[in-house]
A and B are shown apart, each in its own frame.
Chain A
Amino acid sequence: MAHRTKGSKLFITVLYVVTSCSAVPISDLLDRASQRSDRMHSLSRTLTHELDSHFPPIGRMMSPRPSMCHTSSLQTPSDKMQTLQVSESDLLSLARSLLQAWLDPLVVLSASARTLPHPAQNAISNKIQELQEHSKNLGDGLDILSGKMGPEAQNLSFLPFRGGNEIGQDRISKLVNFHFLMSCFRRDSHKIDSFLKVLRCRATMQPELC
Chain B
Amino acid sequence: MLNTGHDLVATLSSDVSTEAEIEESDRWYQRFVGGAMMTNVWEAVVLLLLPFLAPNAEGTQYSPPGKPALTRCRSPEKETFTCWWEPGSDGGLSTTYALYYRKENSETVYECPDYHTAGENSCFFNKNDTSIWVNYNITVVATNALGSSFSDPVDIDVVYIVKPNPPEELNVTIMEDKGWPYLRVSWKPPQKADTRSGWITLIYELRVKLEGEDDWEMHLAGQQKMFNIFSLRSGGSYHVQVRCKPDHGFWSEWSSADYIKVPDYFHREKSMWILITVFSTFIFLIFMCFLHMNSNRSLKYYILPPIPGPKIKGFDKQLLKNGKSDEIFCALVVPDFPPTTSSKCENLMVEYLEVYVSEEQELILEESKELHNSLKCEGSTSDNDSGRGSCDSHTLLMDKCGEAKGDERQTDGEGHPMEMEAQMHQRDWKEGTLSSAYQDIVSPDMSSGRVKTWPSVFSPLHQCGSTSLNQMNSLAMAKQHCLSDNLSPPGSASSFLPQSGRSTTETHRPNYCEFYSSDKQLSSPKPQAQTHRKLQAHSDINISHKQAGLQSPALRPTEYVEVQRVNKEDMVLLQPVESGCVCGDGCPQVCQDYSKVKGLNSDNMLLLHRDVMEGEEVRSHCEKQETNGCITSHITPATQKPTDCIPTVTPIVQKEMGLAVSGYVDTAAMLTLPTH
Please name the residue on chain A nearest to B106 by beta carbon. A67
Instruction: Kindly state the separation between the CA atoms of A207 and B127 in the bound complex, as whole angstroms.
Output: 26
Q: Let me know if A209 is at the binding interface, CB within 8 A.
A: yes
Instruction: Kindly state the separation between the CA atoms of A78 and B79 in the bound complex, as whole angstroms.
Output: 10
CB-defined A-B contacts under 8 Å, sample of 26: A1-B196, A3-B197, A38-B247, A45-B248, A65-B104, A65-B135, A66-B104, A67-B104, A76-B133, A78-B133, A80-B78, A84-B197, A190-B159, A190-B248, A191-B133, A198-B197, A198-B198, A199-B198, A200-B198, A201-B195, A201-B197, A202-B197, A207-B196, A209-B224, A210-B195, A210-B196
Q: Let me know if B67 is at the binding interface, CB within 8 A.
A: no
| B43-88 interface with A by 8 A CB criterion | 78-79
What is the CB-to-nearest-CB distance from B217 to chain A, in angstroms, rounded to a whole number? Answer: 25
Going nearest first, the 8 A-B pairs with the smallest beta carbon separation are A201-B198, A198-B198, A78-B131, A197-B198, A67-B105, A66-B135, A209-B223, A80-B79
Bitwise interface map of B from 321 to 344 toward A, beta carbon under 8 Å scored 1, else 0? 000000000000000000000000
Instruction: Kindly state the separation between the CA atoms of A38 and B198 in the bound complex, as whole angstroms.
Output: 13
A83 near B199 with CB under 8 A, answer: yes
Q: Which residues of B contact A200 (CB under 8 A)?
A: 198
B197 near A79 with CB under 8 A, answer: no
Please name the residue on chain A nearest to B222 by beta carbon. A209
Instruction: Kindly state the separation between the CA atoms of A42 and B245 in the bound complex, as whole angstroms.
Output: 14
Q: Which residues of B contact A (CB under 8 A)?
A: 78-79, 104-105, 127, 130-135, 157, 159, 194-199, 201, 223-225, 247-248
What is the CB-to-nearest-CB distance from A121 to chain B, in angstroms, rounded to a whole number? Answer: 25
Q: Which residues of A contact B159 (CB under 8 A)?
A: 190, 194
Q: Which of B131, B135, B194, B199 has the most CB of A within 10 A?
A: B199
Please name the residue on chain A nearest to B128 by beta carbon. A79
Instruction: Kindly state the separation between the CA atoms of A75 and B399 in the bound complex, as whole angstroms.
Output: 93
Instruction: Kindly state the separation between the CA atoms of A42 and B203 in the bound complex, as whole angstroms.
Output: 15
A79 near B132 with CB under 8 A, answer: yes
What is the CB-to-nearest-CB distance from B194 to chain A, in angstroms, rounded to a whole number? Answer: 7
Q: Which residues of A contact B248 (CB under 8 A)?
A: 38, 41-42, 45, 190, 193
Q: Which residues of A contact B224 (CB under 8 A)?
A: 208-209
Q: Let me know if A187 is at the binding interface, CB within 8 A.
A: yes
Q: A78-B131, A78-B132 are in contact. Are A198 and B199 (CB under 8 A)?
A: yes
Q: Which residues of B contact A210 (CB under 8 A)?
A: 195-198
What is the CB-to-nearest-CB distance from A188 to chain B, in angstroms, rounded to a whole number? Answer: 9
What is the CB-to-nearest-CB distance from B466 to chain A, in angstroms, rounded to a whole number? Answer: 73
B199 near A80 with CB under 8 A, answer: yes
Instruction: Kindly state the separation between the CA atoms of A191 and B78 in the bound complex, as whole angstroms.
Output: 13
Q: Which residues of B contact A191 (CB under 8 A)?
A: 133
Give how many A residues have a beta carbon under 8 Å from the other chain's beta carbons.
31
Q: Which residues of A contact B157 (CB under 8 A)?
A: 187
| A73-99 interface with B by 8 A CB criterion | 76, 78-81, 83-84
A202 near B134 with CB under 8 A, answer: no
Instruction: Kindly state the separation between the CA atoms of A208 and B195 in the bound complex, as whole angstroms.
Output: 10
A79 near B79 with CB under 8 A, answer: yes
Contact of A79 among B127, B196, B201 (CB under 8 A): B127
Please name the residue on chain A nearest to B157 by beta carbon. A187
What is the CB-to-nearest-CB distance from A81 to chain B, in angstroms, rounded to a whole number? Answer: 8
Instruction: Kindly state the separation between the CA atoms of A198 and B132 in the bound complex, as whole angstroms.
Output: 15
Contact of B133 among A3, A187, A201 (CB under 8 A): A187
Bitwise interface map of A from 167 to 210 toward B, beta carbon under 8 Å scored 1, else 0? 00000000000000000000100110110011111100001111
Instruction: Kindly state the separation between the CA atoms of A97 and B131 in the bound complex, as whole angstroms.
Output: 21
What is the CB-to-nearest-CB distance from A43 to chain B, in angstroms, rounded to a whole number? Answer: 11
Q: Which residues of A contact B197 (CB under 8 A)?
A: 1, 3, 84, 198, 201-202, 210
Besides the contacts A80-B194, A194-B159, A207-B196, what 9 more A-B pairs have beta carbons closer than 8 Å?
A66-B104, A66-B135, A67-B105, A80-B78, A190-B159, A193-B247, A197-B247, A199-B198, A210-B197
Q: Which of B104, B132, B135, B247 has the most CB of A within 10 A?
A: B132
Q: Which residues of A contact B105 (CB under 8 A)?
A: 67
Please name the residue on chain A nearest to B158 by beta carbon. A79
Q: Which residues of A contact B130 (CB under 8 A)?
A: 79
Please name the residue on chain A nearest to B130 by beta carbon. A79
What is the CB-to-nearest-CB distance from A204 to chain B, in angstroms, rounded to a whole number? Answer: 8
Q: Which of B104, B201, B225 has the most CB of A within 10 A?
A: B201
Q: A42-B248, A67-B105, A190-B159 are in contact. Are A79 and B198 (CB under 8 A)?
A: no
Instruction: Kindly state the separation between the CA atoms of A210 and B105 in the bound complex, as whole angstroms.
Output: 34
Please name the residue on chain A nearest to B198 by beta carbon. A201
Instruction: Kindly state the separation between the CA atoms of A78 and B132 in the bound complex, as whole angstroms.
Output: 5
What is the CB-to-nearest-CB distance from A194 to chain B, in angstroms, rounded to a whole number? Answer: 8
Instruction: Kindly state the separation between the CA atoms of A22 and B228 in the bound complex, as whole angstroms.
Output: 33
Contact of A190 among B127, B133, B196, B198 (CB under 8 A): B133
What is the CB-to-nearest-CB distance from A191 to chain B, in angstroms, rounded to a whole number? Answer: 6
Instruction: Kindly state the separation between the CA atoms of A200 and B197 in the bound complex, as whole angstroms.
Output: 9
Instruction: Kindly state the separation between the CA atoms of A84 and B198 in the bound complex, as whole angstroms.
Output: 9
Instruction: Kindly state the separation between the CA atoms of A3 and B197 in the bound complex, as whole angstroms.
Output: 9
Q: Which residues of A contact B132 (CB under 8 A)?
A: 78-80
Please name the residue on chain A nearest to B247 by beta carbon. A38
Please name the residue on chain B nearest to A2 by beta carbon. B197
Instruction: Kindly state the separation between the CA atoms of A194 and B246 in the bound complex, as whole angstroms.
Output: 12
Q: Which residues of A contact B195 (CB under 8 A)?
A: 201, 210
Q: Which residues of A contact B78 (CB under 8 A)?
A: 80
Please name the residue on chain B nearest to A76 by beta carbon. B133
Instruction: Kindly state the separation between the CA atoms of A81 and B130 in the bound complex, as whole angstroms.
Output: 11
Instruction: Kindly state the separation between the CA atoms of A197 and B201 in the bound complex, as whole angstroms.
Output: 8
What is the CB-to-nearest-CB distance from A108 to chain B, in angstroms, rounded to a whole number? Answer: 23
| A5-34 interface with B by 8 A CB criterion | none
Q: Which residues of B contact A84 (CB under 8 A)?
A: 197, 199
Instruction: Kindly state the separation between the CA atoms of A78 and B134 in the bound complex, as whole angstroms.
Output: 8
Instruction: Kindly state the separation between the CA atoms of A83 and B196 in the bound complex, as whole angstroms.
Output: 14
What is the CB-to-nearest-CB distance from B273 to chain A, in angstroms, rounded to a whole number? Answer: 42
Please name the residue on chain A nearest to B105 by beta carbon. A67
Please name the residue on chain B nearest to A190 by beta carbon. B159
Q: Which residues of B contact A78 (CB under 8 A)?
A: 131-134
